Structure 1
Protein backbone atom coordinates (compact mmCIF):
# COMPACT_ATOMS: atom_id res chain seq x y z
CA UNK A 1 0.00 0.00 0.00
CA UNK A 2 2.80 2.40 0.91
CA UNK A 3 4.56 1.66 -2.37
CA UNK A 4 1.40 2.44 -4.32
CA UNK A 5 0.99 5.76 -2.53
CA UNK A 6 4.59 6.67 -3.36
CA UNK A 7 4.08 5.70 -6.98
CA UNK A 8 0.90 7.75 -7.23
CA UNK A 9 2.56 10.80 -5.68
CA UNK A 10 5.55 10.41 -7.97
CA UNK A 11 3.31 10.25 -11.03
CA UNK A 12 1.39 13.33 -9.89
CA UNK A 13 4.64 15.21 -9.34
CA UNK A 14 6.00 14.23 -12.75
CA UNK A 15 2.71 15.23 -14.39
CA UNK A 16 2.84 18.59 -12.62
CA UNK A 17 6.42 19.17 -13.76
CA UNK A 18 5.61 18.25 -17.35
CA UNK A 19 2.57 20.53 -17.35
CA UNK A 20 4.52 23.39 -15.77
CA UNK A 21 7.36 23.05 -18.28
CA UNK A 22 4.94 22.94 -21.19
CA UNK A 23 3.37 26.18 -19.95
CA UNK A 24 6.60 27.66 -18.60
CA UNK A 25 7.27 29.62 -21.75
CA UNK A 26 4.05 31.49 -21.09
CA UNK A 27 4.95 32.47 -17.54
CA UNK A 28 3.72 36.05 -17.30
CA UNK A 29 5.73 37.80 -14.62
CA UNK A 30 3.78 41.02 -15.10
CA UNK A 31 0.53 39.23 -14.28
CA UNK A 32 2.13 37.80 -11.15
CA UNK A 33 3.35 41.25 -10.15
CA UNK A 34 -0.20 42.61 -10.60
CA UNK A 35 -1.66 39.87 -8.40
CA UNK A 36 0.93 40.45 -5.68
CA UNK A 37 0.56 44.23 -5.77
CA UNK A 38 -3.23 44.03 -5.56
CA UNK A 39 -3.11 41.57 -2.63
CA UNK A 40 -1.90 44.20 -0.16
CA UNK A 41 -0.31 42.80 3.00
CA UNK A 42 -0.80 39.24 1.76
CA UNK A 43 1.27 39.98 -1.34
CA UNK A 44 4.63 38.76 0.05
CA UNK A 45 3.06 35.50 1.26
CA UNK A 46 1.47 34.91 -2.16
CA UNK A 47 4.79 35.57 -3.85
CA UNK A 48 6.66 33.19 -1.51
CA UNK A 49 4.06 30.46 -2.10
CA UNK A 50 4.29 30.91 -5.87
CA UNK A 51 8.11 30.87 -5.75
CA UNK A 52 8.03 27.69 -3.66
CA UNK A 53 5.75 25.85 -6.08
CA UNK A 54 7.69 27.18 -9.08
CA UNK A 55 10.92 25.77 -7.66
CA UNK A 56 9.25 22.41 -7.11
CA UNK A 57 7.97 22.36 -10.72
CA UNK A 58 11.21 23.45 -12.45
CA UNK A 59 10.01 26.93 -13.42
CA UNK A 60 12.78 29.54 -13.89
CA UNK A 61 13.65 31.08 -10.54
CA UNK A 62 15.82 33.86 -11.96
CA UNK A 63 12.80 35.63 -13.46
CA UNK A 64 10.96 35.41 -10.16
CA UNK A 65 13.98 36.74 -8.27
CA UNK A 66 14.14 39.75 -10.58
CA UNK A 67 10.40 40.27 -10.09
CA UNK A 68 10.83 40.07 -6.31
CA UNK A 69 13.43 42.82 -6.42
CA UNK A 70 11.18 44.99 -8.55
CA UNK A 71 8.19 44.44 -6.26
CA UNK A 72 9.69 44.55 -2.78
CA UNK A 73 13.00 46.41 -3.09
CA UNK A 74 16.54 45.15 -2.45
CA UNK A 75 16.28 44.23 1.24
CA UNK A 76 12.78 42.82 1.67
CA UNK A 77 12.98 41.42 -1.85
CA UNK A 78 16.13 39.46 -0.99
CA UNK A 79 14.50 38.04 2.14
CA UNK A 80 11.29 37.11 0.31
CA UNK A 81 13.12 35.60 -2.66
CA UNK A 82 15.46 33.63 -0.41
CA UNK A 83 12.54 32.31 1.64
CA UNK A 84 10.63 31.12 -1.42
CA UNK A 85 13.71 29.51 -3.00
CA UNK A 86 14.71 27.79 0.25
CA UNK A 87 11.22 26.41 0.86
CA UNK A 88 11.03 25.14 -2.71
CA UNK A 89 14.47 23.53 -2.42
CA UNK A 90 13.42 21.87 0.85
CA UNK A 91 10.20 20.46 -0.62
CA UNK A 92 12.00 19.10 -3.69
CA UNK A 93 14.66 17.48 -1.48
CA UNK A 94 12.05 15.85 0.76
CA UNK A 95 9.95 14.72 -2.21
CA UNK A 96 12.94 12.97 -3.80
CA UNK A 97 13.93 11.40 -0.49
CA UNK A 98 10.45 10.09 0.27
CA UNK A 99 9.53 8.98 -3.23
CA UNK A 100 12.74 7.59 -4.71
CA UNK A 101 15.76 7.65 -2.35
CA UNK A 102 15.33 4.06 -1.10
CA UNK A 103 14.85 2.75 -4.63
CA UNK A 104 17.95 4.58 -5.94
CA UNK A 105 20.11 3.61 -2.97
CA UNK A 106 19.15 -0.04 -3.38
CA UNK A 107 19.98 -0.15 -7.09
CA UNK A 108 22.87 2.29 -7.37
CA UNK A 109 26.12 0.74 -8.46
CA UNK A 110 29.37 1.56 -10.19
CA UNK A 111 29.93 5.21 -10.98
CA UNK A 112 26.56 6.32 -9.60
CA UNK A 113 27.23 4.68 -6.25
CA UNK A 114 30.68 6.25 -6.00
CA UNK A 115 29.21 9.63 -6.92
CA UNK A 116 26.56 9.39 -4.20
CA UNK A 117 29.16 8.30 -1.65
CA UNK A 118 31.39 11.21 -2.61
CA UNK A 119 28.56 13.70 -2.14
CA UNK A 120 27.66 12.17 1.22
CA UNK A 121 31.29 12.32 2.34
CA UNK A 122 31.48 16.03 1.49
CA UNK A 123 28.18 16.67 3.30
CA UNK A 124 27.18 20.28 3.78
CA UNK A 125 30.38 21.45 2.05
CA UNK A 126 29.14 20.02 -1.24
CA UNK A 127 25.79 21.78 -0.81
CA UNK A 128 27.54 25.06 0.02
CA UNK A 129 29.82 24.79 -3.01
CA UNK A 130 26.99 24.10 -5.46
CA UNK A 131 24.89 26.94 -4.04
CA UNK A 132 27.70 29.47 -4.15
CA UNK A 133 28.76 28.59 -7.69
CA UNK A 134 25.93 29.61 -10.07
CA UNK A 135 26.80 26.91 -12.61
CA UNK A 136 24.73 24.00 -11.30
CA UNK A 137 21.04 23.56 -12.31
CA UNK A 138 19.28 24.67 -9.14
CA UNK A 139 15.96 22.86 -9.57
CA UNK A 140 17.49 19.56 -10.67
CA UNK A 141 20.11 19.69 -7.91
CA UNK A 142 17.41 19.94 -5.23
CA UNK A 143 15.94 16.60 -6.29
CA UNK A 144 19.33 14.97 -6.88
CA UNK A 145 20.57 15.77 -3.37
CA UNK A 146 17.39 14.28 -1.93
CA UNK A 147 18.46 10.91 -3.33
CA UNK A 148 21.51 10.87 -1.05
CA UNK A 149 21.72 10.37 2.72
CA UNK A 150 22.70 13.97 3.41
CA UNK A 151 21.13 15.18 6.69
CA UNK A 152 18.18 17.43 5.91
CA UNK A 153 19.21 20.03 8.51
CA UNK A 154 22.66 20.44 6.99
CA UNK A 155 21.18 20.67 3.50
CA UNK A 156 18.63 23.28 4.52
CA UNK A 157 21.07 25.50 6.43
CA UNK A 158 23.77 25.37 3.74
CA UNK A 159 21.16 26.10 1.08
CA UNK A 160 19.70 29.12 2.88
CA UNK A 161 23.06 30.66 3.80
CA UNK A 162 24.93 30.04 0.57
CA UNK A 163 22.13 31.13 -1.76
CA UNK A 164 22.18 34.57 -0.13
CA UNK A 165 24.84 36.16 -2.42
CA UNK A 166 23.03 35.11 -5.59
CA UNK A 167 19.65 36.14 -4.21
CA UNK A 168 21.00 39.56 -3.26
CA UNK A 169 22.63 40.13 -6.66
CA UNK A 170 19.60 39.20 -8.76
CA UNK A 171 17.17 40.95 -6.43
CA UNK A 172 19.16 44.16 -6.63
CA UNK A 173 19.29 43.83 -10.42
CA UNK A 174 15.50 43.58 -10.54
CA UNK A 175 15.20 46.57 -8.23
CA UNK A 176 17.63 48.63 -10.34
CA UNK A 177 15.73 47.72 -13.50
CA UNK A 178 12.42 48.85 -12.02
CA UNK A 179 14.02 52.11 -10.83
CA UNK A 180 15.44 52.72 -14.30
CA UNK A 181 12.03 52.23 -15.91
CA UNK A 182 10.37 54.49 -13.32
CA UNK A 183 13.07 57.16 -13.62
CA UNK A 184 14.03 57.09 -9.95
CA UNK A 185 16.91 58.99 -8.41
CA UNK A 186 20.47 57.72 -8.20
CA UNK A 187 20.18 55.44 -11.22
CA UNK A 188 23.91 55.43 -11.91
CA UNK A 189 24.78 54.47 -8.34
CA UNK A 190 22.14 51.73 -8.23
CA UNK A 191 23.23 50.42 -11.60
CA UNK A 192 26.87 50.29 -10.54
CA UNK A 193 25.93 48.43 -7.36
CA UNK A 194 23.99 45.89 -9.43
CA UNK A 195 26.95 45.40 -11.76
CA UNK A 196 29.33 45.03 -8.82
CA UNK A 197 27.13 42.37 -7.21
CA UNK A 198 26.90 40.44 -10.47
CA UNK A 199 30.66 40.67 -10.99
CA UNK A 200 31.25 39.35 -7.47
CA UNK A 201 28.83 36.50 -8.16
CA UNK A 202 30.65 35.58 -11.37
CA UNK A 203 34.00 35.71 -9.57
CA UNK A 204 32.86 33.27 -6.87
CA UNK A 205 33.69 30.08 -8.81
CA UNK A 206 37.34 31.11 -9.24
CA UNK A 207 37.63 32.19 -5.61
CA UNK A 208 36.09 28.98 -4.30
CA UNK A 209 38.29 26.86 -6.58
CA UNK A 210 41.38 28.56 -5.10
CA UNK A 211 40.18 28.02 -1.56
CA UNK A 212 39.46 24.35 -2.22
CA UNK A 213 42.79 23.75 -3.99
CA UNK A 214 45.27 21.87 -1.77
CA UNK A 215 48.58 23.64 -1.06
Structure 2
Protein backbone atom coordinates (compact mmCIF):
# COMPACT_ATOMS: atom_id res chain seq x y z
CA UNK A 1 0.00 0.00 0.00
CA UNK A 2 2.82 2.39 0.90
CA UNK A 3 4.59 1.53 -2.34
CA UNK A 4 1.46 2.31 -4.36
CA UNK A 5 0.95 5.61 -2.54
CA UNK A 6 4.57 6.57 -3.15
CA UNK A 7 4.18 5.83 -6.85
CA UNK A 8 1.08 7.97 -7.13
CA UNK A 9 2.84 10.78 -5.31
CA UNK A 10 5.82 10.59 -7.66
CA UNK A 11 3.51 10.51 -10.69
CA UNK A 12 1.71 13.61 -9.43
CA UNK A 13 4.97 15.48 -8.79
CA UNK A 14 6.36 14.50 -12.17
CA UNK A 15 3.18 15.50 -13.98
CA UNK A 16 3.10 18.82 -12.15
CA UNK A 17 6.74 19.50 -13.06
CA UNK A 18 6.14 18.68 -16.72
CA UNK A 19 3.00 20.83 -16.82
CA UNK A 20 4.80 23.82 -15.31
CA UNK A 21 7.72 23.43 -17.71
CA UNK A 22 5.45 23.25 -20.75
CA UNK A 23 3.43 26.26 -19.58
CA UNK A 24 6.45 28.47 -18.91
CA UNK A 25 9.02 27.17 -21.41
CA UNK A 26 8.55 30.26 -23.60
CA UNK A 27 10.00 32.27 -20.71
CA UNK A 28 13.25 30.31 -20.80
CA UNK A 29 16.07 32.85 -21.15
CA UNK A 30 18.89 30.86 -22.73
CA UNK A 31 21.29 33.83 -22.63
CA UNK A 32 20.72 34.31 -18.88
CA UNK A 33 21.13 30.57 -18.35
CA UNK A 34 24.45 30.58 -20.21
CA UNK A 35 25.70 33.50 -18.14
CA UNK A 36 24.70 31.78 -14.90
CA UNK A 37 26.49 28.58 -15.92
CA UNK A 38 29.63 30.48 -16.92
CA UNK A 39 29.77 32.02 -13.45
CA UNK A 40 30.07 28.52 -11.96
CA UNK A 41 33.71 28.36 -13.07
CA UNK A 42 35.21 24.86 -12.94
CA UNK A 43 31.83 23.42 -11.93
CA UNK A 44 30.16 24.77 -15.10
CA UNK A 45 30.21 21.45 -17.04
CA UNK A 46 28.71 19.55 -14.09
CA UNK A 47 26.04 22.20 -13.60
CA UNK A 48 25.20 22.19 -17.31
CA UNK A 49 24.89 18.38 -17.39
CA UNK A 50 22.59 18.48 -14.38
CA UNK A 51 20.38 21.17 -15.95
CA UNK A 52 20.24 19.24 -19.23
CA UNK A 53 19.27 16.01 -17.44
CA UNK A 54 16.53 17.68 -15.40
CA UNK A 55 15.38 19.53 -18.50
CA UNK A 56 14.99 16.25 -20.39
CA UNK A 57 13.01 14.81 -17.49
CA UNK A 58 10.63 17.77 -17.45
CA UNK A 59 10.34 18.35 -21.22
CA UNK A 60 12.59 21.37 -21.66
CA UNK A 61 13.43 21.82 -25.38
CA UNK A 62 16.63 19.84 -25.92
CA UNK A 63 17.63 21.71 -29.09
CA UNK A 64 17.95 25.01 -27.18
CA UNK A 65 20.09 23.38 -24.51
CA UNK A 66 22.28 21.67 -27.12
CA UNK A 67 22.89 24.93 -28.94
CA UNK A 68 23.73 26.55 -25.59
CA UNK A 69 26.21 23.76 -24.85
CA UNK A 70 27.99 24.44 -28.13
CA UNK A 71 28.14 28.16 -27.43
CA UNK A 72 29.41 27.63 -23.88
CA UNK A 73 31.97 24.85 -24.30
CA UNK A 74 32.87 24.69 -27.99
CA UNK A 75 32.41 21.81 -30.46
CA UNK A 76 34.41 19.09 -28.67
CA UNK A 77 33.66 19.53 -24.98
CA UNK A 78 30.21 20.90 -25.83
CA UNK A 79 29.33 17.68 -27.68
CA UNK A 80 30.55 15.58 -24.75
CA UNK A 81 28.61 17.55 -22.13
CA UNK A 82 25.50 17.74 -24.31
CA UNK A 83 25.57 14.04 -24.97
CA UNK A 84 26.18 13.19 -21.33
CA UNK A 85 23.36 15.45 -20.11
CA UNK A 86 20.92 14.17 -22.72
CA UNK A 87 21.76 10.54 -21.97
CA UNK A 88 21.42 11.07 -18.22
CA UNK A 89 18.05 12.76 -18.75
CA UNK A 90 16.94 9.95 -21.06
CA UNK A 91 17.95 7.40 -18.42
CA UNK A 92 16.02 9.20 -15.66
CA UNK A 93 12.87 9.44 -17.79
CA UNK A 94 13.18 5.79 -18.83
CA UNK A 95 13.54 4.60 -15.23
CA UNK A 96 10.71 6.86 -14.05
CA UNK A 97 8.36 5.43 -16.68
CA UNK A 98 9.41 1.86 -15.93
CA UNK A 99 8.99 2.19 -12.18
CA UNK A 100 5.81 4.25 -12.28
CA UNK A 101 3.93 2.98 -15.29
CA UNK A 102 5.33 -0.07 -17.08
CA UNK A 103 3.54 -2.64 -14.93
CA UNK A 104 0.23 -0.79 -15.27
CA UNK A 105 0.61 -0.57 -19.05
CA UNK A 106 1.49 -4.26 -19.39
CA UNK A 107 -1.60 -5.28 -17.42
CA UNK A 108 -3.96 -3.12 -19.46
CA UNK A 109 -2.34 -3.34 -22.88
CA UNK A 110 -4.68 -4.41 -25.64
CA UNK A 111 -3.60 -6.76 -28.46
CA UNK A 112 -2.30 -3.97 -30.71
CA UNK A 113 -0.31 -2.23 -27.97
CA UNK A 114 1.05 -5.54 -26.69
CA UNK A 115 2.13 -6.50 -30.20
CA UNK A 116 3.88 -3.17 -30.60
CA UNK A 117 5.71 -3.33 -27.26
CA UNK A 118 6.70 -6.95 -27.89
CA UNK A 119 8.05 -5.99 -31.29
CA UNK A 120 10.05 -3.12 -29.81
CA UNK A 121 11.47 -5.43 -27.14
CA UNK A 122 12.42 -7.99 -29.79
CA UNK A 123 14.35 -5.33 -31.72
CA UNK A 124 16.06 -4.20 -28.49
CA UNK A 125 19.00 -1.84 -28.95
CA UNK A 126 18.46 -1.82 -32.74
CA UNK A 127 15.11 -0.09 -32.27
CA UNK A 128 16.67 2.43 -29.88
CA UNK A 129 19.45 3.08 -32.39
CA UNK A 130 16.91 3.65 -35.15
CA UNK A 131 14.74 6.14 -33.24
CA UNK A 132 17.79 8.02 -31.94
CA UNK A 133 19.26 8.41 -35.41
CA UNK A 134 15.88 9.05 -37.02
CA UNK A 135 13.95 11.37 -34.68
CA UNK A 136 10.42 10.19 -35.50
CA UNK A 137 9.14 11.24 -32.09
CA UNK A 138 10.06 14.07 -29.72
CA UNK A 139 13.15 13.19 -27.71
CA UNK A 140 11.63 13.82 -24.27
CA UNK A 141 8.42 11.89 -25.00
CA UNK A 142 10.32 8.98 -26.51
CA UNK A 143 12.40 8.52 -23.34
CA UNK A 144 9.24 7.86 -21.33
CA UNK A 145 7.64 5.73 -24.04
CA UNK A 146 10.63 3.38 -24.24
CA UNK A 147 10.53 2.97 -20.46
CA UNK A 148 7.07 1.42 -20.84
CA UNK A 149 8.44 -1.35 -23.07
CA UNK A 150 10.45 -4.43 -22.08
CA UNK A 151 13.74 -3.14 -23.53
CA UNK A 152 16.60 -3.76 -21.11
CA UNK A 153 18.04 -0.66 -19.47
CA UNK A 154 21.74 -1.13 -20.28
CA UNK A 155 21.29 -1.67 -24.06
CA UNK A 156 18.91 1.31 -24.05
CA UNK A 157 21.47 3.49 -22.29
CA UNK A 158 24.41 2.52 -24.50
CA UNK A 159 22.43 2.79 -27.74
CA UNK A 160 21.11 6.19 -26.67
CA UNK A 161 24.59 7.55 -25.96
CA UNK A 162 26.19 6.16 -29.11
CA UNK A 163 23.46 6.87 -31.66
CA UNK A 164 22.61 10.37 -30.48
CA UNK A 165 26.21 11.37 -31.23
CA UNK A 166 25.69 12.54 -34.86
CA UNK A 167 22.81 14.86 -33.95
CA UNK A 168 24.56 16.12 -30.82
CA UNK A 169 27.70 16.91 -32.81
CA UNK A 170 25.78 18.77 -35.54
CA UNK A 171 23.69 20.93 -33.21
CA UNK A 172 26.58 21.57 -30.83
CA UNK A 173 28.72 22.80 -33.71
CA UNK A 174 25.82 24.97 -34.88
CA UNK A 175 25.70 26.59 -31.44
CA UNK A 176 29.46 27.10 -31.50
CA UNK A 177 29.33 28.62 -35.01
CA UNK A 178 26.54 30.96 -33.91
CA UNK A 179 28.62 32.17 -30.99
CA UNK A 180 31.60 32.78 -33.27
CA UNK A 181 29.43 34.70 -35.73
CA UNK A 182 28.09 36.96 -32.97
CA UNK A 183 31.59 37.49 -31.56
CA UNK A 184 33.07 38.20 -35.00
CA UNK A 185 35.63 35.39 -34.75
CA UNK A 186 37.85 34.22 -37.59
CA UNK A 187 36.67 31.79 -40.24
CA UNK A 188 32.97 32.45 -39.59
CA UNK A 189 31.94 31.50 -43.14
CA UNK A 190 33.86 28.20 -43.03
CA UNK A 191 32.45 27.33 -39.63
CA UNK A 192 28.95 28.16 -40.81
CA UNK A 193 29.34 25.98 -43.89
CA UNK A 194 30.67 23.11 -41.77
CA UNK A 195 27.67 23.45 -39.44
CA UNK A 196 25.31 23.27 -42.42
CA UNK A 197 27.17 20.24 -43.79
CA UNK A 198 26.79 18.43 -40.46
CA UNK A 199 23.08 19.22 -40.40
CA UNK A 200 22.75 17.90 -43.97
CA UNK A 201 24.38 14.62 -42.91
CA UNK A 202 21.96 14.29 -40.00
CA UNK A 203 19.04 15.02 -42.35
CA UNK A 204 20.26 12.26 -44.71
CA UNK A 205 20.46 9.67 -41.92
CA UNK A 206 16.77 8.59 -42.06
CA UNK A 207 17.20 7.33 -45.61
CA UNK A 208 20.46 5.57 -44.79
CA UNK A 209 19.15 3.95 -41.62
CA UNK A 210 15.97 2.78 -43.29
CA UNK A 211 18.16 1.04 -45.88
CA UNK A 212 20.36 -0.55 -43.23
CA UNK A 213 17.31 -1.83 -41.34
CA UNK A 214 16.10 -3.80 -44.32
CA UNK A 215 16.57 -7.53 -43.85
CA UNK A 216 18.58 -9.22 -46.61
CA UNK A 217 16.54 -10.79 -49.36
CA UNK A 218 16.11 -14.54 -48.97
CA UNK A 219 17.09 -16.44 -52.08
CA UNK A 220 14.82 -19.32 -53.09
CA UNK A 221 17.72 -21.79 -52.79
CA UNK A 222 18.23 -20.81 -49.14
CA UNK A 223 14.49 -20.98 -48.50
CA UNK A 224 14.35 -24.52 -49.90
CA UNK A 225 17.31 -25.59 -47.75
CA UNK A 226 15.67 -24.21 -44.63
CA UNK A 227 12.34 -25.86 -45.44
CA UNK A 228 14.02 -29.20 -46.23
CA UNK A 229 15.86 -28.97 -42.89
CA UNK A 230 12.51 -28.62 -41.12
CA UNK A 231 13.23 -25.11 -39.84
CA UNK A 232 10.34 -23.42 -38.10
CA UNK A 233 9.49 -20.41 -40.26
CA UNK A 234 6.35 -18.93 -41.74
CA UNK A 235 6.11 -18.86 -45.53
CA UNK A 236 3.55 -16.16 -46.22
CA UNK A 237 2.22 -15.92 -49.78
CA UNK A 238 0.81 -12.43 -50.31
CA UNK A 239 -0.70 -12.99 -53.76
CA UNK A 240 -4.46 -12.87 -54.25
CA UNK A 241 -6.43 -16.00 -53.38
CA UNK A 242 -6.97 -16.76 -57.08
CA UNK A 243 -3.24 -16.47 -57.85
CA UNK A 244 -2.41 -18.64 -54.82
CA UNK A 245 -4.32 -21.56 -56.33
CA UNK A 246 -3.70 -20.54 -59.94
CA UNK A 247 -1.31 -21.66 -62.65
CA UNK A 248 1.89 -21.11 -60.67
CA UNK A 249 0.62 -23.06 -57.71
CA UNK A 250 2.11 -22.40 -54.29
CA UNK A 251 4.62 -23.81 -51.85
CA UNK A 252 3.24 -26.68 -49.83
CA UNK A 253 4.23 -24.97 -46.58
CA UNK A 254 2.80 -21.57 -47.55
CA UNK A 255 -0.03 -19.70 -45.87
CA UNK A 256 -2.00 -17.29 -48.04
CA UNK A 257 -2.76 -13.76 -46.83
CA UNK A 258 -3.26 -11.31 -49.72
CA UNK A 259 -1.37 -8.04 -49.50
CA UNK A 260 -4.62 -6.06 -49.68
CA UNK A 261 -5.92 -7.80 -46.54
CA UNK A 262 -2.66 -7.78 -44.60
CA UNK A 263 -3.08 -4.50 -42.65
CA UNK A 264 -6.50 -5.58 -41.32
CA UNK A 265 -5.45 -9.15 -40.53
CA UNK A 266 -1.92 -8.65 -39.22
CA UNK A 267 -3.04 -9.72 -35.72
CA UNK A 268 -3.48 -13.27 -37.05
CA UNK A 269 0.29 -13.45 -37.46
CA UNK A 270 1.06 -12.43 -33.85
CA UNK A 271 2.59 -15.84 -32.94
CA UNK A 272 5.30 -15.09 -35.55
CA UNK A 273 6.17 -11.67 -34.19
CA UNK A 274 9.69 -12.70 -33.19
CA UNK A 275 10.09 -15.61 -35.63
CA UNK A 276 11.28 -15.75 -39.24
CA UNK A 277 8.71 -14.79 -41.87
CA UNK A 278 9.47 -15.44 -45.55
CA UNK A 279 7.28 -13.44 -47.94
CA UNK A 280 6.42 -14.88 -51.34
CA UNK A 281 4.57 -13.48 -54.35
CA UNK A 282 4.83 -13.93 -58.13
CA UNK A 283 8.17 -12.05 -58.20
CA UNK A 284 8.98 -9.91 -55.16
CA UNK A 285 7.21 -6.56 -55.61
CA UNK A 286 4.16 -7.33 -53.48
CA UNK A 287 6.42 -9.02 -50.96
CA UNK A 288 8.45 -5.82 -50.50
CA UNK A 289 5.27 -3.88 -49.67
CA UNK A 290 4.18 -6.61 -47.26
CA UNK A 291 7.61 -6.50 -45.58
CA UNK A 292 7.19 -2.77 -44.91
CA UNK A 293 3.77 -3.38 -43.34
CA UNK A 294 5.05 -6.16 -41.07
CA UNK A 295 8.14 -4.20 -40.07
CA UNK A 296 5.91 -1.28 -39.10
CA UNK A 297 3.81 -3.65 -36.99
CA UNK A 298 6.87 -4.75 -35.01
CA UNK A 299 7.80 -8.04 -36.72
CA UNK A 300 11.51 -8.53 -36.15
CA UNK A 301 12.70 -11.02 -38.80
CA UNK A 302 10.91 -10.52 -42.11
CA UNK A 303 12.52 -11.52 -45.42
CA UNK A 304 11.39 -11.07 -49.01
CA UNK A 305 11.95 -14.20 -51.10
CA UNK A 306 13.91 -13.00 -54.13
CA UNK A 307 12.18 -13.76 -57.40
CA UNK A 308 9.20 -15.31 -55.63
CA UNK A 309 7.30 -18.17 -57.24
CA UNK A 310 8.82 -17.39 -60.64
CA UNK A 311 12.32 -18.11 -59.33
CA UNK A 312 11.11 -21.20 -57.43
CA UNK A 313 9.52 -22.67 -60.54
CA UNK A 314 12.64 -21.80 -62.54
CA UNK A 315 14.51 -24.42 -60.48
CA UNK A 316 11.82 -27.01 -61.23
CA UNK A 317 11.02 -27.54 -57.55
CA UNK A 318 7.62 -28.97 -56.61
CA UNK A 319 4.59 -26.86 -55.82
CA UNK A 320 1.04 -27.58 -54.81
CA UNK A 321 -1.27 -26.86 -57.72
CA UNK A 322 -4.95 -26.25 -57.10
CA UNK A 323 -6.50 -24.95 -60.30
CA UNK A 324 -9.71 -22.96 -59.94
CA UNK A 325 -12.65 -24.55 -61.67
CA UNK A 326 -14.06 -22.58 -64.57
CA UNK A 327 -17.83 -22.23 -64.58
Q: Provide the TM-score with structure 2 as the length reference.
A: 0.65
List runs of 5+ in structure 2 lacking aligned partners. Answer: 218-327
CA drift of 1:135 comes to: 2.9
CA drift of 1:122 comes to: 0.6
1:4 corresponds in structure 2 to 5
Whose helix fraction is larger, Structure 1's or Structure 2's? 1
2:41 corresponds in structure 1 to 40
List runs of 5+ in structure 1 lacking aligned partners. Answer: none
1:79 corresponds in structure 2 to 80
Bigger relative contact order, structure 1 or 2 (CA pairs below 8 A, ≥6 apart): 1
- Cα deviation per residue 1:99-121 (whole Å; 9 max; x = unaligned)? 01111111111211111111011
- Cα deviation per residue 1:62-113 (whole Å; 9 max; x = unaligned)? 0000010001000000000001000000000000000011111111112111
Which of 1 and 2 has greater Rg? 2
Alpha-carbon distance between aligned partners in 2 of 1:191 and 1:34, rounded to the nearest angstrom = 23
Whose strand fraction is larger, Structure 1's or Structure 2's? 2
Alpha-carbon distance between aligned partners in 1 of 2:51 and 2:11, rounded to the nearest angstrom = 21
1:196 corresponds in structure 2 to 197
CA drift of 1:159 comes to: 0.2
CA drift of 1:212 comes to: 1.7
2:138 corresponds in structure 1 to 137
SS at match of 1:25: helix
1:176 corresponds in structure 2 to 177
Q: Provide the TM-score with structure 1 as the length reference.
A: 0.98
Alpha-carbon distance between aligned partners in 2 of 1:48 and 1:83, rounded to the nearest angstrom = 7
1:113 corresponds in structure 2 to 114
Alpha-carbon distance between aligned partners in 2 of 1:142 and 1:61, rounded to the nearest angstrom = 12
SS at match of 2:50: helix
- Cα deviation per residue 1:110-159 (whole Å; 9 max; x = unaligned)? 21111111101110000000001133211011000101111100000000
2:54 corresponds in structure 1 to 53
Alpha-carbon distance between aligned partners in 2 of 1:135 and 1:4, rounded to the nearest angstrom = 35
1:206 corresponds in structure 2 to 207
Alpha-carbon distance between aligned partners in 2 of 1:135 and 1:34, rounded to the nearest angstrom = 33
2:163 corresponds in structure 1 to 162
SS at match of 1:69: helix
Runs of 4+ deviating beyond 3 Å:
none
SS at match of 1:32: helix
SS at match of 1:79: helix
Alpha-carbon distance between aligned partners in 1 of 2:189 and 2:150, rounded to the nearest angstrom = 47
> Which range moves more in the overlay, 124-133 or 103-112?
103-112
Alpha-carbon distance between aligned partners in 2 of 1:116 and 1:43, rounded to the nearest angstrom = 39
SS at match of 1:51: helix
Alpha-carbon distance between aligned partners in 2 of 1:210 and 1:147, rounded to the nearest angstrom = 27
SS at match of 1:59: coil
**C-alpha root-mean-square deviation of aligned residues, in Å?**
0.8
- Cα deviation per residue 1:24-57 (whole Å; 9 max; x = unaligned)? 1111101110101111111111111110000000
